[in-house]
Amino acid sequence: MSAASTATGRLDGRVAFVTGAARGQGRSHAVTLAEAGADIVAVDIGKDIDAAPYPLGTADDLAETERQIRALGRRVLVRAVDVRAQSELDAVVAEAGDTLGGIDIVCANAGIGPFFHKTWELPESEWQDVLDVNLTGVFHTIKAVVPSMIARGHGGSIILTSSLAGLKGYSNIAAYVAAKHGVNVLMRTLANELGPHRIRVNTVCPGLINTDMMMNGPTYQVFRPEVENPTQADATEVFRTMQVLPTDWLEPRDVSEVIRFLASDEARFLTGTAIPVDAGQIGRG
CA distances from 168 to 53, 57, 141, 174, 189 (A): 22, 27, 25, 11, 20
Same domain, 119 and 235: no
In the structure, what pLDDT confidence band is assigned to residue 2 with cuts at 50, 70 and 90? Answer: very low
pLDDT digits (tens, 9 = 90+) for 243-271: 899 999 999 999 999 999 999 999 999 99
User: What value does the mean pLDDT take over residues 123-150?
Assistant: 98
Q: Decide: 161 and 183 in contact? Cβ < 8 Å.
A: yes
Q: Is the pLDDT of residue 285 over 70?
A: no
Q: Which residues contact 247 (CB under 8 A, 6 or more apart)?
A: 240, 279
Q: What pLDDT does 221 receive? A: 87
Same domain, 94 and 193: yes
In the structure, what pLDDT confidence band is assigned to residue 6 with cuts at 50, 70 and 90? Answer: very low
Same domain, 235 and 123: no
186: in domain: yes
285: in domain: no
Same domain, 105 and 234: no
140: in domain: yes
Same domain, 35 and 61: yes
Same domain, 244 and 259: no
In the structure, what pLDDT confidence band is assigned to residue 181 with cuts at 50, 70 and 90? Answer: very high
pLDDT digits (tens, 9 = 90+) for 18-52: 999 999 999 999 999 999 999 999 999 999 999 99
Question: What is the extent of the structural domain holding 233?
Answer: 215-248
CATH number, domain containing residue 189: 3.40.50.720
- In this structure, the strands spanning 274-277 and 76-80 are unpaired
Same domain, 219 and 142: no
282: in domain: no
Residues facing residue 158 across a β-bridge: 106, 201
Structural domain count, the chain: 2
Q: Which of 107-111, 202-206, 210-214 is predicted with the least confidence, judged by mean pLDDT?
A: 210-214
Same domain, 194 and 144: yes
Of the candidates 64, 147, 57, the residue with the CA atom closest to the CA atom of residue 111: 57
Q: What pLDDT does 7 receive? A: 59
Rounded Cα distance between 21 and 187, Å, is 21
Same domain, 57 and 117: yes
281: in domain: no
Concatenated DSSP letters of 195-221: GGGTEEEEEEEE-SBSSTTTSSHHHHH
pTM: 0.93
**Any idea which residues carry the catalytic annotation?**
176
Q: Is the pLDDT of residue 5 over 70?
A: no
